[in-house]
Structure 1
Amino acid sequence: MPIVADCYRYVVGVDTHAATHSYSIIEAVTARVVDEATFPTSAAGLARALAWIGRRTTDAGTAGVLVSVEGSNSYGTRLTRHLLDAGYRVVDAPAPTRGRGESKTDAIDARKAATIMLPRRSAGLADARTGDLHDCLKTLVPARDRMAREKTRQFNALVAVLRAHDLGVDARRKPGMSTVKQIARWRERATDSRAEQFARAEVIALAQRILVLHAQLAQNLASLRELVTAHAPALLQMPGVGPVNAAVILNAWAYHGRIKSEAAFASLGGVCPIEVSSGNREHRRLNTGGDRQLNRALHSIVLTNGRCDRQTQEFIATRIAQGKHPRAIRRTLKRYTARRIFRL
């Protein structure tokens, strides 16, 4: 397989930050630094950066230039979009590693982002995620996580106040949405003590906030379902896959061709086995790398199938009879699930 130094004339490394981006242009064959510069992240600054890259790589054209961007999905999102629109291939640069006592500057990090790509296989690079679908999911999926966490916090706070004050609600168990709706309609009572007045006002505010979050989560779910149905309806036909998990999978997948093989998808999801055998002992340990959101989605699918899918239940029963540990069985199922998703 050809490496980057064989396929490209120049490699541009970019160290991204909130206010400025640092760029370093490296000649692929010799690893010689052609030029380095820093530009602001404003629209004018990004345009100047693209013009600067074009002037210094004019003999190679966009097809002969690879751009390695550190943080292409965070600080470098807008830059990545501009580079792709201009025709450059953009890949994710790994986080720089520094030895003990080694210097650190933005220029050094940009240079490392470029030079670390030179010996790598061109077909195995992590192309930057982009496209309208990815931009939509990049907004909706994190927003859902934030709203779900906040709703849980508000619920916990509501239960804590109800258990600390006698407001006429049985709080031995977590209240349901019908109880929350009832609390949201409460009014102040003149017969309450001062402490009870504050407590009643607090639970009313918490209940009203929970109802707002509940409605926002429902709207978010409808939007995710619409996107998934339009772009990958086959995902929703898989057992255990709902709109949220399907959206996480699509967000990691990004576009057709980004993930080159089934093994690459398993590695991205952190479900590929890691061999740690020695002597007569054969063992594979848990993979803690990869996209943890994708790993969580695969884990959720496996747990759902373990409860609802007959074929999965039979597989689990067979492996338990063979003496396998439930955690090892789940890891196997996550690997099988990743394989099945990739083949859709």
Structure 2
Amino acid sequence: MTVIGIDPHKSSLTAAALDADGTARVTRRFAVNKATGPAVLAWASQFDEALFAVEGARGLGRGISQYLLSQGHEVLDVPSTLSMKARVLHTGGGRKTDAADARAVGWVAQHHEGLRRVVAEDHAEILDLLTRQRDAFKCERTRALNRLHDLLRDLIPGGVPQGLTLTRARAAVRTVRPATAVARCRRDLARDLIGEVARLEKLMDDYEQRIAEELQATGTSLMELQGISTILAGKILGEVGDVRRFRSAGHFASYTGAAPLDTSSGDNLRQRLNPGGNRRLNSVLHVMAVCQIQHGGPGREYYLKKIQEGKTPREARRALKRRLSNVIYRTMLKDLSPRPPAIS
């Protein structure tokens, strides 16, 4: 089988065809336009049983990956971190070209058994797009509130308390009686920012409604878990996609960054915090853990048990996050299992 590694960029992509022993047979560069997909397939038709591997199939490689998939070809998603390590291992240095990167992508596909197979975009992709857009609006709202806080500090002696909200900002601005032209300018800017915050909050509410509608179409039961809101459930499904691509709960926990890293050496058995993994999912686990700790239930009981065993609050929370990762994994698998027909 010929493995074709593809290194995509914004305006071009480079493909390298590798034999079974990893030898590069031929390399070609393509300009990215409407004819790129057919051109890649026409070039690859000279090889028998071609397997495509694309670096960053959910990023710059999304277009070519989805096109190849739509034409009935199997496509593997190669993380850039793996292709970089493969390139350094094979070349013995940091020499980097598009052709070398394409070959490295192919080498990873030949030797790594845990690569994600690209699937057609579905509800998971829609949820990913919607939740990321809502997060962007939330960040803009936070920046607008911070600027508003600065203006009110100069308009009102002592400023306003922390935790500024739209209602509190409107009430504060109504009390302002500017005595100078500069103060009037600050008041007008504050009013504009209040309108901007109101607009962003309306968009956030609209997107939350759209996310809820998409979640209903998936039939997920994630929101039945304590601490999982509509937004968090959308983030989970958007990031994970098909949970069956993970071999076990441990594999899923490693992906979320909830599983500790083994750093043992000789007789010293050690583990440390995993700084990698999917940080969006790790953030979801953190919010879920904090919510369960603050309220009664099995999560809080597990947390208190770890505290009694001598763990610090931070260590106990990490242990709970690891346990909750297993709960989410099992819930998503259960949602995919066929349900027995209803008895009439």
Q: Give the TM-score normalised by the residue count of structure 1.
A: 0.86
Q: Distance in 1 between matches of 2:22 and 2:161?
A: 67
* Equivalent AA in structure 1 for residue 142 of structure 2: T
* Structure 1 counterpart of 2:136, from 146, 150, 164: 146
1:108 to 81, 100, 111: 100
| Counterpart position of 1:92 | 77
With over 3 angstroms needed to count, the CA separation of the structure-2 counterparts of 1:31 and 1:71, relative to structure 1, is same
Distance 2:142 2:119 in 1: 31
8 Å Cα contact 1:183/1:203 also seen in 2? no
Distance 1:212 1:282 in 2: 54
The alignment-based identity, stated in percent, is 27
Q: 1:119 aligns with which of 103, 111, 114?
A: 111
Match of 2:27 in 1: 36
Could you tell me how far apart the structure 2 residues matched to 1:341 and 1:36 are?
A: 43
SS in structure 2 of the partner of residue 15 of structure 1: strand
Give the one of 117, 121, 126 matched to 1:131: 121
Residue 177 of structure 1: which of 141, 149, 166 is its match? 166
Q: How far apart are residue 296 of structure 1 and its match?
A: 1.0
Per the alignment, residue 317 of structure 1 pairs with: 304
Corresponding residue number in structure 1 for 2:233: 246
TM-superposed deviation, 1:281: 5.6
Q: Name the counterpart of 2:338.
A: none
Which deviates more from structure 2 when the two are superposed, residues 243-252 or residues 92-101? 92-101
Whole-angstrom distance in 1 between the partners of 2:290 and 2:282? 12
Secondary structure of the residue aligned to 1:37 is: strand
Greater mean alpha carbon deviation, residues 325-334 or residues 151-160: 325-334
Taking the aligned partners of 1:205 and 1:33, their CA distance within structure 2 comes to: 60
AA aligned to 2:78 is: A
Please say if residues 156 and 176 of structure 2, whose CA atoms lie closer than 8 Å, have aligned partners that are also in contact. no
* CA RMSD, 1 decimal: 2.4
SS across alignment from 2:25: strand
Determine the C-alpha separation between the residues in 2 that align with 1:140 and 1:31: 40
Counterpart Cα distance in 2 of 1:118 and 1:173 = 55
Cα shift at 1:310: 2.3
Q: Is the 8 A contact 2:141 2:197 kept in 1?
A: yes
Partner of 1:3: none
2:155: which partner in 1?
A: 165
Equivalent position to 2:208, from 203, 216, 221: 221
Unaligned stretches of 5+ in structure 1? Answer: 1-8
2:64 is aligned with 1:74: no
Alpha-carbon separation, structure 1, partners of 2:29 and 2:218: 39
Is residue 155 from structure 1 mapped to residue 145 from structure 2 by the alignment?
Answer: yes
CA contact (8 A) 2:4 2:106 kept: yes
> What SS does structure 1 have at the residue aligned with 2:96?
coil
The offset of 1:108, in angstroms, is 0.9
Shift of residue 336 of structure 1?
Answer: 1.1
Unaligned runs of at least 5 residues, structure 2: 332-344
After TM superposition, the score normalised by the length of structure 2 is 0.86
* 1:200 and 2:187 matched: yes
Name the structure 2 match of 1:46. 37
The answer to whether the 8 A contact 1:23-1:36 is kept is yes
Give the letter for the 1:51 counterpart: A
- Distance change (3 Å), C-alpha of 1:125 and 1:78: same
> Matched residues in 2 for 1:279 and 1:36: separation?
45
Q: Kindly tell me: are residues 247 and 161 of structure 1, through their superposed partners in 2, closer, same or farther at Cα, counting changes over 3 Å?
A: same
Shift of 1:51: 2.2
Contact 1:91/1:126 (8 A) holds in 2: yes
Q: Deviations over 1:286-341 (max 9, x none)?
A: 11111111111111111111112422222222221221112221121111111111
* Structure-1 separation of matches of 2:301 and 2:243: 34
Q: Which residue type is aligned with residue 107 of structure 1?
A: A
The 8 Å contact of residues 55 and 79 in structure 2, kept in 1 or not, is answered as yes
Distance in 2 separating the partners of 1:283 and 1:107: 40
Moved more, 195-204 or 281-290: 281-290
Residue 282 (structure 1) shift: 4.3
Q: Summarize the Cα distance change of 1:187–1:67 in structure 2 as closer, same or farther, 3 Å threshold.
A: farther
What is the identity, as a one-letter code, of the residue corresponding to 2:312? H
Aligned residues of 1:140 and 1:224 also touching (Cα < 8 A): yes
Deviates more, 1:289-298 or 1:255-264: 255-264
Q: 1:278 to 1:106 in 2, by over 3 A?
A: closer
Q: For residue 5 of structure 1, what is the aligned residue in structure 2?
A: none
Match of 1:343 in 2: 330
- Partners of 1:52 and 1:148 in 2: how far apart? 45
Corresponding residue pairs, total: 324
Of 269-278 and 231-240, the range deviating more from structure 2: 269-278
